[in-house]
Every structure is written in C-alpha cells, then in structure tokens.
Structure 1
Amino acid sequence: MAHKAQTFPPQIKIPATYMRGGTSKGVFFNLTDLPEEAQVPGPARDALLLRVVGSPDPYGKHTDGMGGATSSTSKTVILSKSDIADHDVNYLFGQVSIDKPFIDWSGNCGNLTAAVGSFAINSGLVDADRIPENGHAEVRIWQANIEKTIIAHVPITNGQVQETGDFILDGVTFPAAEVQVDFLDPAGEGSMFPTGNLVDELEVPNIGTFKATMITAGIPTIFLNADEINFNGKTYNGTELQEAINNDDEALEMFELIRAYGAKAMGLIENIEEAANRQHTPKVAFVASPADYVSSSGKNISANDIDLNVRALSMGKLHHAMMGTAAVAIATASTVPGTVVNLAAGGGDRQSVVFGHPSGTLKVGAETELQNDQWIAKKVFMSRSARILMEGWVRVPGDCFTV
C-alpha cells in the first residue's frame, strides 16, 4: 500500500545579522524585516524568535538554531527607527530561555547595547548627517524594555563603522575597536534602592540571612557578601570560576532561592513562585575584597590590580564574565558609601572601580549624588566592543509562528 505523501510548509527566510556585543552575541533584526504577525509583541513574535534561537531545547545545545545554549548567547534584538524625540533608534531585547518556551522581555542586555549603534548605522536607522566622516558617531538609543536612554560612541573611519582595533575586553578572545557606552539615568523614577535601605537583612528560609544591597540601576540586582554564603558546608570567596558553581546543582538551587526572595523584597514579584517566569531579572551577585586568582583563560589576576571581586549569575548560571547591565549596577552601587559593593571595594567616596570577574577585569564608572535623602544615578559609563559575525537571512519553518 502506498503511503500518502505528507506536505509541510517550506522554510521562509528573514533578513538578520548575527552580532557580538561585549561578551554576548545574538541575532539582530530590523523590525520592518520581521513577518507582519511578529512586528507586534505577542505569541507570534515569541514563537518566531524561539525557533530562530532553537528553544526550547531539552538537550541544552541549540543544535537546531542560532543560539549558543548559554545565557550570553541565547539573545535576540529588534531595532527600529525611533519615534522618541532626540533618539535615533529603539532597541528591544529578548532573553531567550534555553529549556523553556519563554522569552523574558523584562530587562536590557548591556553587552549587546555595544552592538546596537553599529547595527543601527549599517541599517540606515541613523540619519546620515549624524555620522561623521571620521571620529565617533553618537548614537542615541531608546532602550524600550526599561525606557531608558543609552548613548553609544561608535568609531567611524571613512564614513563606515570601524569594527577592528586593539581594544582588549576580558571575556572576548580577539581585540576589536573600543565602543564607549553611557547609560543615562540608569535608575530612573522611584528609589534606586527599592527597599529604602542601602543594606537589608535578607532572610531566605532554610538557607540563611544575608546582608544585601538591592538596587535597580542598570538591571535589578541583589548583591551579597561572598563570605556570608555558607550552605551545606560550602563557602565562597569571590574568586570562583564557572565550574565551581555551574556543576553544583545544590548551589544553583540555593542562588535561585536567594534570587526569588530578593525579587519579592524588591517588589518585583508578589509570590516566590513568580520568579520562575521572571528569569532575566533580578540578577543575584556576590562580592568580596580583592584577592589573587587565575581567570578562566589562565590569566593571573592580582589583588593589587582590582578594587573588588564580583561574581554574578544570569539565567540560573554563573556568568562567564559580567553582564553589562550588572556592571552598571556594580558601578552605581560602588559609588554609594555603605553598600556591600562599596564596602567590598574599601568604602568611602569613589567615582569608579576595577572589579575582577571569572574572565578577567573590567573598569566601570558612575556619577551619583544624594538629593533630598535619595541617591540619584546620573550616568554610568564603560567600554565594550562589537562586531558583525554574519549577515544575511535566517530560515525557519513557515508555520513556526502560527499560534
């Protein structure tokens, strides 16, 4: 008996650019290039982007998609010409879950921000009269997830984006051109410290009580002291690399529980169970005073060259370097005397810090001031780099976003 032939819709192709920004990489789209159903927020857009990245993947490999099966490489970006006064481009970021059919739109990716300016210029989203023949183009970015302004200073040579250079960013293998990124008013409306305190006693049932600085600058972040974390006989010192935590299921469960209770204390969720559907925010990080260690690339990091050590988790895993948005939080908290970040760096007044992370070091700075008993963050700045890895089209089954 002959088998009846089954027909399936063919693949469609969508213009896309695969870019590295800072220590992350992701798939970038111009909004108008997406299928009409995916040009607006909703299930169709999420389904399309999940298929592009290759999620959910129970194998945790993203073999059938563009993702890299880590929080740093499971990312999507949608850009459009800005409809906000005095801005060039609207930037929308989606953090794609690896093993769940879920995209978190609740926060920004500070690393990929470094690539937004060059994509915007190359895509014609920045007016030509704003791009110098040589020098730096100041690309004014409206970060749509968190409704904040970011300025990317994109190097230009002979009217074209300059991507190659000698700037070394720890966590990135090869040098590239330096891109300075300024995050303006990163805390915004309301208190930068949502609990009203610079340091809280965060009680986590069955885990412990921790001194915690909970801050909303850059991205909501919960900072703990490494030496206060002691669970099932395991202690932390702030020099850990990925394998020390990511291969330890008990440690990951502990940090996720801390994150959930911190999210509730910050008013981001009402019930602890809601944290599972808010994976991207808040972040949880732990800090320690300077100490020598060997980075993941084998580089010797001296305590004399850093102000503090910081380790941060993203999407349930210890990050291989540092999330750009968490670096904003580190910069801001370091300049506010009395936070756990500031105290780990030695305390007192400061405008910048150099911190150690698993891949090396990073210098960040902030302008903060006390106004009417409230701390205000005016600007945070750091240097990253960015590069186009591939451009053309991504292909997906034509019915993958039919919901």
Structure 2
Amino acid sequence: MAQNEKLAELSAAGVAVWLDDLSRDRIRSGNLQSLVDEHSVVGVTTNPTIFAAAISGSDSYDDQVHALAVRRVSVEEALRTITASDVRDACDLLAPVAARTGTDGRVSLEVDPHLAHDTDATAAEAAHLWWLVNRPNLFIKIPATEAGLPAITTTIGRGISVNVTLIFSPERYRAVMDAYMSGLEQCIDTGAGFDGIESVASFFVSRVDTEIDKRLDALGADPSLKGKAGIANAQLAYQAYEEVVASDRWRALEVRGARPQRPLWASTGVKNPEYSDTMYISELIAPGTVNTMPEKTMMAYADHGAPGLPIEKSYEDAAAHMQALRDAGIDLDDVFRVLEEEGVTKFVDSWTELTDSVRSELEKKA
C-alpha cells in the first residue's frame, strides 16, 4: 500500500515515525498494521496511562483476565502478564520492520515507576521484563533520574535494549549518553559484544512549554517568548548528541559495531490550541532521530504538516531563546527539576490507575 506522502517524506529525512499508543484492539483490528503500511510507522511506545485506558475500555481482555482471576494470581502478576502479552504481539507484528531496518520495529515497555529512585530494583525489573516478553525488538523504558542512570548502564551492559525516558534538559541528556556508553564499555569488558543492542533517549518537548509558559505568565513577561522553549531545548539536545557522536570515546565504540543512542522526541502532542498542532514534528526534523506521536498528532501531520528549518541551522537561535528566558527571570534548572519530579509522579499515578483497572477487572471476572 502507498504511504502517506508527508510522513514518507519525514521518514526519508531520517525521522523514524513511531506511534505513542498501543491496545489489543489496535493490534487485532489491523489498525496498527495499517499504520505501518500507510503511515510509515516503524515503532511503538507505551506507558501506564495508555494501558489503563486500553484495559478498562475494551472487552478484548476479558478471556485473559478471567483466566488470571480463576488462577487467583496477584494484581501485579496479572498486570505484567496482560501488558507483556500486548507488547509481545506488537513486537511480532513489527518484526518484519526490525528485520528490514535493523534499528526500528521496536516496542517499549516501562519499568514500574515506583522504582524510579531505586537503581538496583530498576535494573532487576528491566531484566525480568526483558525475559518475560522475550523478543529481540523490545525496548525497556527506564527513567533518566539520577538513580536511573546507573541502572541504564547495568541494563545495557547485560545486552538489554533501553528506551531512556523522562529527559528534560540537555545536561541530563549528556549524562544519559554517558550512561549508555558506559554500558557498552561494560559489554567490551565482559567480551559480550554489542549484537542486538539498541537504545533511544526520550527527550520530552511539550511539557517544557507548558511549564515555562505558565511561569512567563506569572512573571508578566513578553508573551512573544511563549511556545518556543520546548523546541529550542530539544534543538540544543540534538546539538549535544552531535557533539557526543563526534567524540573519540564514541568513535572507539562505533568501530567495534556499536549503534548510536538515537534522540527520540516525546510528548509531541501540542497542549496549547493556540499553537500549530504539528510544531513538535515540523521543527525537529533531523537525521537519526525518532518522533513518537499520538495518533491525532500523526494524522494532523499527514494532513497538513510541512518541514521547518533544518535542526542543525537552529542552534544559535535556540541558545539565544533559552538565554532570553533566563534574562526574563525563568530558572531553567528549577523548571527541569520540577518537570522530572512531576513526570515521575504522573507515571506513578498512571501506574496506580493501571493497577486499579486490572484489580477491578479481576474482581469482575473472578
């Protein structure tokens, strides 16, 4: 089938188009396959909110939930069984994409966000989820908290592919890239090699604008500063990525066969209706990147999206804008701290919602 022209053009520019959503209905109905066939989709990301909505809003899970209920499994075991099943099926659907591209065809599954500040527990759960799903095109999502960084290194060192999530600042992103390279270096030390190891680093975009716009309003600052920080911040993150992949340390890994940890633009659904609904795609087009999109955002770009300024030509303006925000009284370090804390809290709340959904369904089917 013919691909949507605008999304195909985006893909040709080096942007891997991923869907930020998954459900059993989406897989069984053929919708996910049609997005692969017609909208250039080559990957899927998930989170607890997505699964909570899927499980509570569909009867496709009834038979499995009933089987789990009569076995009297714990809510935690049921939750992992259900979500791993969907992710495994999505991995199988995308396996031809993985075989064709070598880098994409990936589906992400998140560690329990309650463990975000526990290094050892995060690494242990990452290994368990990798075993549970048992598909080579899986990504384990680990948050980029301070405790998450060494867990990333450990997990990569075990040969497990990782999607690092909840990155808000270029500085933390550099630490994430360092953690990834340290994990690869552990593989060298153990003689394991890099076969099959992939990683992406999920840099959040729209939430930065939401937080900074709120602060600009409170300061009574120039309104022309609003709605630009998310993109500028991400552009500077890509500049950091270019600097790292040009480093001697990375080149020493690359010659041994290591693959770069691609930047992934996350939180790309536009929150403010006054802004263009495709801005977090159009302005972040660069080779070797991933953009994971809600279906609504993907369809908006498929309908009327257009490429913006090449990202490599934006660095000077991006740096100037972030400085203008500082000059206006925005404490960027505090912004990024708050966003990380809120991000973990939101993931924990979503996990609780997911757990409650599974518990409710188990009780109904018991």
Q: Normalising by the residue count of structure 2, what TM-score does the alignment of the two structures yield?
A: 0.28
Q: Which has the higher Rg, Structure 1 or Structure 2?
A: 1
Q: Which has the higher helix share?
A: 2
Of structures 1 and 2, the one scoring higher in RCO (CA 8 A, sep 6+) is 2
